[in-house]
């Protein structure tokens, strides 16, 4: 067995960067949906949750259209960063952010909606803006859900396959992440290598889920 | 304080029209009483800017906070209010001191926190998180947080309803002391005639979305239209009705009770008469009986 560690390392790097960027992105997104989406909330939620139900190939196909050099994002990448987005690591990050969006945003949003309205109202009567209320009052009281969102995003990105195949292909050391590597090894009948990657991913996913549930078990969501 | 409010509100399944107008004595305590679902909390929320009236005007110390004709609607953040919520709404992630610190406006001195902590007798609790406090302690913190900003008006939504009697009396005394010190115009929503008699300078009584009485507590409470007990019929035994209300079970002697009432009827009793409403509206709508 001559298994390369590069796909595992690439998966880890992709998941870490995706989780960090998506976390930073989801806060303003949640702000908009929670405070301004009074009438449009079902519509916005449906958009956020689309990646949950779409076949990864459909999502991958549209991302491909966007990211290719003639696409809207692809041109932006070429002009501003001189980077080709399709079949490249930055492209994978963009794809993963879109694909994992509901895994980060939904837990945060539903935790916010479950908080008593009076927290928000009390902060308003104390002269605090919406943004201030979100950062200092609401988010600190849903820390558990922030963690769950981050961990699920991370794990989900590690397990991503279809979207990556569509927009990243399987370029060694650049876009061949662990899940793709398994597919590759099986195609070449290297079952020993495939077995190695598969076992590591299985173990990883199981440990992540145990951590999430242990955390939820110790800190029930309903603090108040 | 000059308030005129109109708003369609939801009471159970139905909507009703709240249409009220009242003045509150500057620097005094005005109590608002009325049956539950009469829109008392909504009035406080409209004054705080958390709920928008359909029509009306809210004027506090010659500042107009809301005027539907002139399209004025100051945001809650810019209205000078201290609001004590029924369920306290202390922030669980902050200690008692941090709750007060958060409430303070940027230009206010941190010395105010210690002053208010002392006034409410909660200096020893300042490092505790709200979850570690008893109901009475949480109520003190909620009051402290509301007054630390030195608001122009204080809105209290049944602040003592969840407390036992001795704790209630203590807190009422503290609130009287605070009021003596700061002279903040206060609106107090309350069910409790004793509380209103002790604390309020004036009282308004709401019924079906309108103010039916306004005056000194002594005269209003004595007039006998205020509600003493509200609840649901739990069981009927010939001449005895057992009624379960918010915190207690009461029994009443009523002549021929079993033929007049059914289990599940909602009942409200005032000092002069009692009213009974059937569960489903297609039966009797409402009828008055002399006791």
pLDDT class for A1, splitting at 50, 70, 90?
low
For residue range B151-195, list pLDDT tens digits in order: 999 999 998 888 888 888 889 998 998 898 889 999 999 888 888
Given a cut of 90, is residue B252 above it in pLDDT?
Answer: no
**Looking at the complex, does the CB of residue B132 fall below 8 Å from at least one CB of chain A?**
no
Q: Is B118 exposed, middle or buried (0-12, 13-18, 19+ CB in 10 A)?
A: exposed
Structural contact between residues B125 and B96, judged by C-beta atoms closer than 8 angstroms:
yes
Provide the whole-model pTM. 0.81
Measured CA to CA, the distance from residue B202 to residue A102 in angstroms comes to: 54
Segment B24-33 shows an average pLDDT of 92
> When comparing pLDDT for B14 and B56, which is higher?
B56
**Looking at the complex, does the CB of residue A55 fall below 8 Å from at least one CB of chain B?**
no
Given a cut of 80, is residue A222 above it in pLDDT?
Answer: no
User: Nearest CB to A128: which of B49, B77, B89?
Assistant: B77
| CB-CB under 8 Å, A122 with B48 | no
Report pLDDT for B226. 57
**Looking at the complex, does the CB of residue B74 fall below 8 Å from at least one CB of chain A?**
no
| CB-CB under 8 Å, A116 with B91 | no
| CB-CB under 8 Å, B48 with A137 | no
Percentage, residues of chain A above pLDDT 90: 75
Q: Is A217 helix (H, G, I), strand (E, B) or coil?
A: helix
Phi and psi based region of residue B238 (left: phi greater than 0; alpha: psi -120 to 50; beta: remaining): left
CA-closest candidate to residue B156, choices B186, B176, B198:
B186
Strands (E), chain B: 2-11, 14-23, 29-33, 55-60, 63-67, 72-73, 81-84, 153-157, 185-189, 202-207, 210-215, 227-237, 240-244, 249-253, 266-270, 273-277, 287-290
> Regarding beta strands B185-189 and B29-33, do their DSSP bridges make them parallel or antiparallel, or are they unpaired?
parallel
For residue range B216-228, list pLDDT tens digits in order: 988 887 765 556 6
Interface test with B, best of A127, A129, A146, A219 (most B CBs within 10 A): A127
Q: Which residues pair with B72 in a beta bridge?
A: B67
Q: How far apart, in Å, are the Cα atoms of A198 and each of A6, A7, A202, B4, B129? A: 15, 12, 6, 70, 46
Structural contact between residues B228 and B192, judged by C-beta atoms closer than 8 angstroms:
no
pLDDT class for B271, splitting at 50, 70, 90?
low
Report pLDDT for B278. 46
Mean pLDDT of the residues in chain B: 85
| CB-CB under 8 Å, B89 with A118 | yes
**Looking at the complex, does the CB of residue A126 fall below 8 Å from at least one CB of chain B?**
yes
For residue range A137-152, list pLDDT tens digits in order: 999 999 989 988 999 9
DSSP secondary structure letters along A78-96: HHHH----TTSHHHHHHHH
Both tokens of B215, joined, read: 């005056």
Segment A120-148 shows an average pLDDT of 95
- Within the 97-116 window of chain B, which residues sit less than 8 Å (CB to CB) from chain A? 102-103, 105
Buried-exposed string A148-163: b where 16+ CB fall within 10 A, e elsewhere: bbbbbbbbbbbbbebb
> Which residues of chain A have a CB within 8 Å of the CB of B89?
116, 118-119, 121-122
Given a cut of 90, is residue A186 above it in pLDDT?
Answer: yes
**Looking at the complex, does the CB of residue A40 fall below 8 Å from at least one CB of chain B?**
no
> Regarding beta strands B210-215 and B249-253, do their DSSP bridges make them parallel or antiparallel, or are they unpaired?
unpaired
Report pLDDT for B290. 34
Q: Which residues pair with B231 in a beta bridge?
A: B267
CA-closest candidate to residue B90, choices B140, B32, B130, B63:
B130
Residue of B nearest to A124 (CA): B77
Measured CA to CA, the distance from residue B210 to residue B201 in angstroms comes to: 20
Given a cut of 50, is residue B288 above it in pLDDT?
Answer: no
Given a cut of 60, is residue B210 above it in pLDDT?
Answer: yes
Q: Is B154 exposed, middle or buried (0-12, 13-18, 19+ CB in 10 A)?
A: buried
Among the listed ranges A78-82, A213-217, B94-98, B267-271, which one has the minimum average pLDDT value? B267-271
> Which residues of chain A have a CB within 8 Å of the CB of B76?
121, 124-125
**Looking at the complex, does the CB of residue A118 fall below 8 Å from at least one CB of chain B?**
yes
| CB-CB under 8 Å, A127 with B149 | yes
- Within the 141-180 window of chain A, which residues sit less than 8 Å (CB to CB) from chain B? 141
Measured CA to CA, the distance from residue B228 to residue B70 in angstroms comes to: 41
Nearest C-alpha of chain B: how many angstroms from A115? 11
Given a cut of 60, is residue A220 above it in pLDDT?
Answer: no
> Which residues of chain B have a CB within 8 Å of the CB of A127?
77-78, 105, 149
Segment A117-141 shows an average pLDDT of 96
> Which residues of chain A have a CB within 8 Å of the CB of B103?
126
**Looking at the complex, does the CB of residue A131 fall below 8 Å from at least one CB of chain B?**
no
CA-closest candidate to residue A154, choices A26, A7, A23:
A23
């Amino acid at each position: 067995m001559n298994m390369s560690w590069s796909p595992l390392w690439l998966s880890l790097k992709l998941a870490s960067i995706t989780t960090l960027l998506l976390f930073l992105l989801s806060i303003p997104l949640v702000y908009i949906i929670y405070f301004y989406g009074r009438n449009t909330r079902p519509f916005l939620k449906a958009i956020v949750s689309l990646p949950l139900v779409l076949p990864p190939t459909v999502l991958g196909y549209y991302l491909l259209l966007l990211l290719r050099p003639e696409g809207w994002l692809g041109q932006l990448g070429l002009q501003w960063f001189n980077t080709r987005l399709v079949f490249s690591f930055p492209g994978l990050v963009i794809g993963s952010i879109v694909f994992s969006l509901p895994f980060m945003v939904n837990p945060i949003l539903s935790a916010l909606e479950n908080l008593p309205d009076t927290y928000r109202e009390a902060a308003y009567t104390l002269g605090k803006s919406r943004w201030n209320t979100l950062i200092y009052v609401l988010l600190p009281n849903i820390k558990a859900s922030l963690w769950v969102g981050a961990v699920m995003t991370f794990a989900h990105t590690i397990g991503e396959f279809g979207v990556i195949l569509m927009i990243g292909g399987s370029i060694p050391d650049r876009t061949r992440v662990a899940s793709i590597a398994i597919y590759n090894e099986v195609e070449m009948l290297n079952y020993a290598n495939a077995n190695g990657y598969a076992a590591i991913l299985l173990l990883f996913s199981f440990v992540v889920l145990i951590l999430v549930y242990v955390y939820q078990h110790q800190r029930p969501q309903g603090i108040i | 304080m000059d308030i005129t409010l109109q708003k369609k509100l939801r009471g159970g399944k139905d909507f009703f029209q709240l249409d009220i107008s009242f003045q509150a004595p500057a620097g005094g305590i005005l109590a608002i009483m009325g049956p539950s679902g009469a829109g008392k909390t909504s009035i406080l929320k409209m004054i705080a800017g958390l709920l928008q009236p359909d029509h009306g005007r809210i004027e506090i110390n010659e500042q107009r906070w809301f005027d539907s004709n002139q399209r004025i609607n100051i945001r809650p953040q810019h209205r000078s209010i201290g609001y004590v919520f029924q369920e306290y709404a202390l922030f669980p992630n902050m200690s008692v001191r941090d709750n007060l610190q958060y409430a303070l406006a940027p230009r206010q001195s941190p010395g105010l926190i210690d002053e208010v902590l002392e006034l409410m007798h909660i200096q020893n609790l300042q490092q505790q998180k709200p979850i570690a406090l008893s109901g009475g302690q949480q109520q003190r913190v909620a009051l402290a947080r509301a007054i630390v900003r030195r608001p122009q008006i204080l809105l209290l939504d049944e602040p003592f309803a969840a407390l036992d009697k001795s704790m209630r009396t203590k807190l009422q005394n503290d609130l009287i002391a605070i009021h003596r010190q700061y002279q903040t115009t206060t609106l107090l929503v309350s069910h409790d005639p004793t509380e209103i008699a002790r604390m309020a300078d004036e009282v308004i009584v709401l019924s079906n979305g309108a103010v039916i009485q306004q005056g000194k507590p002594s005269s209003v409470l004595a007039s006998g239209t205020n509600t003493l007990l509200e609840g649901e019929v739990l069981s009927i035994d010939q001449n005895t009705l057992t009624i379960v209300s918010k915190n207690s079970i009461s029994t009443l002697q009523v002549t021929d009770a079993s033929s007049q009432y059914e289990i599940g009827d909602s009942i409200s009793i005032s000092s002069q008469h009692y009213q009974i409403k059937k569960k489903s509206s297609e039966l009797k709508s409402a009828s008055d009986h002399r006791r």
